[in-house]
Structure 1
Amino acid sequence: MAEDLLPDATGIARAAALLRAGALVALPSETVYGLAADATQDSAVAAIYTAKGRPDFNPLIVHLPDLDSAMAIADFPGTARALADAFWPGPLTLVLPLKPGHGLSARVTAGHATVAIRLPAHPVMQAVLQAAARPIAAPSANPSGKISATTAAHVRAGLGGRIAAILDGGPTPVGVESTILAPSADGTRLLREGAIPREVITPITGPLITDTTPGARVEAPGQLASHYAPLTPLHLGGTAQPGEIIIGFGPMACALNLSENCDLVEAATRLFAMLHQADAMAQSHGAPAIRVAPIPEMGLGRAINDRLRRAAAPRA
């Protein structure tokens, strides 16, 4: 089983040493827990795909400690630098053209000439990045297609027997993954809805070109039609059926509630933890389905609905 690490100097040093040695370590970020590996080692990156059961055409996000390290491996076209200045460190991922001599494993980019980069704001992950002194690839720390992990316990339940260590930084404060943008001279494409809403991005970029579910090659994480899925079938809105586990929003009768006060920030923070809880309840009680109340399609509600629609999509 995975070694349990505390978010202190000893735990951070141990996590960094394991990463440099090519091992997999689950790390907390402000969004969700990431399954981290040295992005320059082919075998380490391959181990991420194996541990998660992730298809190898689905690229990974590279996490870096600062802007200088990002500019060393990628070009910043269009509004990329303005976006980095506004939102880094934080829950924004930019898909950028790779520079020659970048040093990353080709497995990270899944054959693309671009790389997804994020500078996380979580102090524990930042400390590990500084200590490891390597670019770190880190998709969400859960089996591929399943509910993302927002606590160390979620990671342990899904991947505990497949990875070297889990650095427990407590519950993640944001609760949904980063927004992913691809800036260019021709405009900025939105590849994944996320923790930074469109409303605060468009003053910098102008209107976004939405490209969140491509018909051909997947360019960024979170673009697969079926993702974030519990074991129990998930339904969105509609009329509750007997025996279903109801996840509410706003004042209503339900087993669990994302936010009784209709607070989208609270709902985003609680989303994945509540899906884990509802799934456990459904499995233990033999419930036929989980049903989620409608969420407003605005601000963080777009990211929440994106995750819910993919969680409810037909499974391959």
Structure 2
Amino acid sequence: MILEIDENHHDYILRAAQAIRNGRLVAMPTETVYGLAANAFDKKAVAGIFALKGRPQDNPLIVHVDSVPMAKNLAEFDEKAERRAEKFWPGPLTMVLKSRGAVPDGVTAGLDTVGIRMPDCDVALALISAAGVPLAAPSANKSGSPSPTSAAHVASDFGEDLLILDAGECNVGVESTVVDMTRETPIILRPGAVTQDMLEEVIGPVECARAFSPMEEGRPAAPGMKYRHYAPAASMVVVEGDTASVAEAIKYLYDKDLKKGEKPLVMAAKEHKRFYGRRDVAVTGSIEDLRGVAKSLYALLRDADAAGYTSILFEAVPKEGIGFAVMNRVYKAAAYNIVRV
């Protein structure tokens, strides 16, 4: 059931909060993507997240809070964590901290750490506050598929039996930055809208885990590290290099796919659309506005599947600013099928 939230429907938030307290799952909006939320203290409800998504049990969940005091009840905060929370919360930053053992192992995947963030979304914060508990919430999609940035995306994956709070499209469009604060030098486990440069301005040196190669073995310390994520049903190839060479390579691959009976689609910046003639092109945004590219990415992948495209040829964007996070997601969506020219 989709409940559209506006100033006249605060009762919908109270209704969803009661559902959370009763052990049910609720899809909630955040500034990043829509989340599939459950009471983080409720083992059975948390297990329901994994069952509904088809999510591997060793993939930890992020816990969403409405205040720093709520976060401190769940994890150990040091001075660096305090400074980061002051600067970036509410916002798209998840901090991995030493757990106090308050949440069940299902949330942490058996690790001694827990990922926590305070979302920059009035509806999400109101839901947490009304429920009176922190919410464990991964993206509200079937595991492995493109994340949802609208209520319609959630309903497409799960149907309308799930209670869905609709607050419109997400403003950021890619998942939060995840940074492990338990190391002497903090390390980014998953890139997002809060970049390495932004973090280093606040607390000094920060490392970044491999963002553009797959994790083959071991337990992931954060979501989005080990398994194939964000992937459309269509096959996908990422093409990167100088603009002219990328365009020529994409045209060659497009025509080759067409001859094989595929239904190919180019995804390219609006500045480059003219290079592809009459070929089908979905505009990702402007190379001058990578935040716009991030915001549109998952919707474009979902739209391509809905339109019946069987192959996607993605024109790489610069790995700078939020473009670093965009390309991390695109590489994973393409199963690291990359052509460099």
Shorter-chain TM-score bucket reads over 0.9
Give the structure 1 partner of residue 219 of structure 2: 217
- With over 3 angstroms needed to count, the CA separation of the structure-2 counterparts of 1:112 and 1:44, relative to structure 1, is same
Asked whether the equivalents of residues 38 and 136 of structure 2 are also in contact (C-alpha less than 8 Å), the reply is yes
Once residues 82 and 154 of structure 2 are traced to their aligned partners in structure 1, the CA distance between those partners, rounded to angstroms, is: 34
TM-score, normalising length: structure 1: 0.92
Which amino acid counterpart does residue 271 of structure 2 have in structure 1? Answer: P
Helix, strand or coil for the counterpart of 1:235? strand
Where do residues 160-199 of structure 1 align in structure 2 (5 Å cutoff)?
A: 160=159, 164-184=162-182, 186-199=184-197
Whichever of the two has the greater Rg, that structure is: 2
Where do residues 42-191 of structure 1 align in structure 2 (5 Å cutoff)?
A: 42-77=43-78, 79-100=80-101, 102=102, 104-160=103-159, 164-184=162-182, 186-191=184-189
Where do residues 263-302 of structure 1 align in structure 2 (5 Å cutoff)?
A: 263-281=289-307, 283=308, 287-302=309-324
Which amino acid counterpart does residue 303 of structure 2 have in structure 1? Answer: Q
2:248 corresponds to 1:245:
no
Once residues 151 and 249 of structure 1 are traced to their aligned partners in structure 2, the CA distance between those partners, rounded to angstroms, is: 22
Give the structure 2 partner of residue 257 of structure 1: 283
Asked whether the equivalents of residues 190 and 208 of structure 1 are also in contact (C-alpha less than 8 Å), the reply is yes
Q: Give the superposed CA RMSD.
A: 1.7
Which amino acid counterpart does residue 98 of structure 1 have in structure 2? Answer: S
Once residues 318 and 153 of structure 2 are traced to their aligned partners in structure 1, the CA distance between those partners, rounded to angstroms, is: 27
Give the structure 2 partner of residue 13 of structure 1: 14
Once residues 129 and 299 of structure 1 are traced to their aligned partners in structure 2, the CA distance between those partners, rounded to angstroms, is: 30
Deviation larger for 124-133 or 6-15: 6-15
Once residues 210 and 90 of structure 1 are traced to their aligned partners in structure 2, the CA distance between those partners, rounded to angstroms, is: 19
Q: % of aligned pairs identical?
A: 39
TM-score, normalising length: structure 2: 0.86
How far off is 1:185 after superposition? 5.5
How far off is 1:109 after superposition? 0.4
Asked whether the equivalents of residues 279 and 290 of structure 1 are also in contact (C-alpha less than 8 Å), the reply is no
Deviation larger for 206-215 or 114-123: 206-215
2:313 corresponds to 1:312:
no
Asked whether the equivalents of residues 30 and 120 of structure 1 are also in contact (C-alpha less than 8 Å), the reply is yes
Once residues 236 and 202 of structure 1 are traced to their aligned partners in structure 2, the CA distance between those partners, rounded to angstroms, is: 30
The structure 1 segments of at least 4 consecutive aligned residues displaced by more than 6 Å after TM superposition are none
Which amino acid counterpart does residue 222 of structure 2 have in structure 1? Answer: A
Once residues 173 and 221 of structure 2 are traced to their aligned partners in structure 1, the CA distance between those partners, rounded to angstroms, is: 23
Asked whether the equivalents of residues 77 and 185 of structure 1 are also in contact (C-alpha less than 8 Å), the reply is no
The number of equivalent residue pairs is: 306
1:182-206: CA deviation from partner (whole Å, max 9, x where unpaired): 1136110111001212221111233
Once residues 160 and 138 of structure 1 are traced to their aligned partners in structure 2, the CA distance between those partners, rounded to angstroms, is: 18
Helix, strand or coil for the counterpart of 1:155? helix
How far off is 1:89 after superposition? 0.7
- With over 3 angstroms needed to count, the CA separation of the structure-2 counterparts of 1:280 and 1:262, relative to structure 1, is farther
1:120-171: CA deviation from partner (whole Å, max 9, x where unpaired): 110011110110001100000000011000000100001126x530111110
Once residues 270 and 308 of structure 1 are traced to their aligned partners in structure 2, the CA distance between those partners, rounded to angstroms, is: 12
Deviation larger for 289-298 or 183-192: 183-192
